Amino acid sequence: MNLFSQSLLAWFDQSGRHDLPWQSHITPYRVWVSEIMLQQTQVKTVIPYYLAFMARFPTLADLAHASQEAVLAHWSGLGYYARGRNLHKAAQLIMQQHNGEFPQTFADIVALPGIGRSTAGAILAIALKQRYAILDGNVKRVLSRYYALPGWPGEKVIETDLWLKADALTPQARFADYTQAIMDLGATLCTRTRPKCAQCPVASTCQAWSTQSVAQFPQAKPKKLKPIKQTVMLILENVHGQVLLEQRPQQGIWGGLWSFPEHESVAACKASLNMALQTPPAEQQSLIEWHAIRHTFSHYHLDIQPVYVRLVEQQAAPYNGVWVNQHDLQNGFTGCDNPLGIPAPVTKLISLINVDASSTIKTNTSKE
């Protein structure tokens, strides 16, 4: 066993995390769900979502047989919703192509939607006791510093080199513990900011530490100015205090989730609403334009202009939408038989409905 893995495992035995929810009753299904949730999301954020998700979908069959709406409802607020859609689709494929048994080989696992090389390696190592390396964001940071590798780890040539190093360091024994250990190292000590190098078990052989250049690694992705896109969301409230939601297309942002009707401009929103309700503007209560809020995705900013309208008489739901109780939205559909998946900005806007529309609503920023 090499010095790196030996030192890391000794530290893990004493100081690693051993009580995470997915570390008990280990199965490929439970590890898979945790690995998907942990993609670009911190452990402390994932834990409550994981517990609720596993309580609702305790087995792969439960997940496969559930509706997409139910799955996305339990993903609401976690962000990067393609992960939830792919998880659901992959569960259905496993039922169809593998008789409901989680596949046992790298080729079969990586062929499933939403599973890349590192996630497949983690599942194989932790749940199926097969020696495979991983290279998630934490591991990239650890190895970039350990070897003082110049350049951005996302570049193909650098990533290839990191994979070779990750595989070389993975021991022939205890690779399940090693996989968890190197993820723990990156998450708890070798953090992006303020790393705790003095406590690191491999600091003595870390090239960045020995040259006092830890802050220089890994090098950041070359900055690219994020474009800004705009949309108008119609917040339509009926006389019973319900709001109108419609399901988004499967493709594109928030695919399959439920959101407010969208339009390209306020003028288009007004014209569409008049046509949908088949009433002139004078018969509607005041239309109020709220201050825009910004939601940030990984590749662009989305400025959302909310337009609020409260109907003065009962109407059938327009836009192929449904009327939903605000109470259910604000309380995460606790106790509901048919919960809906809701994007975070929609939940934010719901919370503003009871704010006096004539008062100033400050610009808010959220991030998926």
Q: Which tens digit of pLDDT belongs to each residue from 128-139?
A: 999 999 999 999
pLDDT confidence tier of residue 223, bands split at 50, 70 and 90: confident
Rounded-to-integer distance, Cα 239 and Cα 233, Å: 19
- Please give the pLDDT value at position 362: 37
Predicted confidence (pLDDT) per residue in 126-178, tens digit: 999 999 999 999 999 999 999 999 999 999 999 999 999 999 999 999 999 99
Paired sense of beta strands 365-367 and 293-296, if any: parallel
Overall average pLDDT of the 103-117 stretch: 97
- Catalytic option among 35, 69, 159, 262: 35
Residues 16-30: tens digit of each pLDDT: 999 999 999 999 999
Has residue 77 got a pLDDT over 90? no
Tell me whether residue 313 is one of the annotated catalytic residues. Answer: no
Residue 205 phi, psi dihedral angles, 5° rounding: -115, 10
Question: Which domains does the chain possess?
Answer: 3-216 (1.10.340.30), 228-367 (3.90.79.10)
Q: Mean pLDDT check: name the lowest of 237-241, 291-295, 363-367.
A: 363-367
Q: Is the pLDDT of residue 11 over 60?
A: yes
Backbone angles phi, psi at 296, to 5 degrees: -105, 125
Give the count of beta carbons closer than 10 Å to the beta carbon of residue 253: 18
- Could you tell me the pLDDT band of residue 75, with boundaries at 50, 70 and 90? very high
CA–CA distances in Å: residue 70 to residues 88, 109, 129, 329, 339: 10, 24, 32, 14, 6
Average pLDDT of the chain, as a whole number: 89
Residues 6+ apart with CB under 8 A from 210: none
Give the per-residue pLDDT at 356: 41
